[in-house]
Every structure is written in C-alpha cells, then in structure tokens.
Amino acid sequence: MSPRRERRSTLVLVLVVAVLLTLLPLPGQLEALRPYWVGLVLIYWALELREMVSLGLAFLIGVLLDVLTASLMGLNALSLVVLIYLVQRFRARLRFFPPWQQALAVLGLLVNDQIIRLWVTSLLGEPLPTWRYWLSPLVGMALWPWLFLLLDRVRAGRRRASS
C-alpha cells in the first residue's frame, strides 16, 4: 500500500473511532465532560499532515456529525471549518511547541468552538447553557498531550506495519 493511502486509511480509522466516541451515550452528569473528539482528532491531523485535512473535509465531517447527532444542520460543519482554518493558519507556530504546551492553544481553539456554538444557539433564541458548558474544552485540553502521543504512536505503528 502506498504511504499516502496508508495515511488516508489511518485518518479514516481514527475519525471513525472519534465519531463513535462522540455518539457513545453517557450519563447525564458526565455529558458536559465529553470532549470534542472529532475536533481534537482533526486538530492533530491538521498539525501533522496538513495536506490530508482540508476545509472541505472538515465541512463534510461536520455535516456527517450534524446528521448523526441530530443537531442543527451546519452547526458542526461551521465549527469544524473555523477550527481547521485556525489550525492551518497558525500551524507553524503550534508545531513549535511540545504537546503539553500545545494544550493551551488547543484550549483556545476549543473555547473558540464553544463560543461559535453559543452564538448560533443564541441566534435561535434558545436559553443560554450553564457553567458546565465550559467544562468540555478543559477536558479536551487535559486530554490533548495524551491523545497527541497516542495518535503519534498509531501513525508510527501503521507506518511500520506497512513497511
């Protein structure tokens, strides 16, 4: 298998796992702690392999996520497109730092994502969420170094297996 096809299959596999983690039912108390798995995975791939994650791919994955989660059509698509745009824009700066320092930038990206979601839901006239709404980006920041290392290991393992 060619290296490009190997990278693509690894990306698809990891995205499927991220979508399944997003769809996994959690008890009501833990729901606010659910990290934005798809966003975190796309941030990693946009940092590591820029040519594999485009704004169009982010849009398509967002629409798929909108359909699977029965959320407002285009909400996840908009948030993922903005997220990937920001990662691509500041990619050179973000890659300079080790994962535990990148976690602060990831926190900023995830908070920005929550602000976009809050803006859209407020335009719809829905009530504002409670303070628990802001826990998800903190969990994503805490998971980032470990997720980064795990995805690096998966990517390296798949590369070695194909050689």
pLDDT (0 to 100) of residue 119 = 94
pLDDT (0 to 100) of residue 5 = 78
> Which residue reads 């795990």 in tokens?
150
Contacts of 121 (CB under 8 A, 6+ apart): 72, 129
Distance CA 115, CA 162 (A): 41
pLDDT (0 to 100) of residue 162 = 61
Closest among 66, 52, 39, 38 to 10, alpha carbons compared: 52
Going residue by residue through the chain, which has 163 residues, state the pLDDT in tens, using 9 for 90 and above. Answer: 577 777 888 899 999 999 999 999 989 889 889 999 999 999 999 999 888 899 999 999 999 999 999 999 999 999 999 999 999 999 999 999 999 999 999 999 999 999 999 999 999 888 888 899 999 999 999 999 999 999 999 988 766 666 5
Helix 75-89 / helix 55-69 crossing angle, nearest 10 deg: 150
Closest among 103, 83, 88, 92 to 146, alpha carbons compared: 103
Total-model pTM: 0.92
pLDDT (0 to 100) of residue 1 = 58
pLDDT (0 to 100) of residue 156 = 83
pLDDT (0 to 100) of residue 92 = 92
Could you state, in order of their start, the residue ranges of all structural domains in the chain? 3-22+29-162
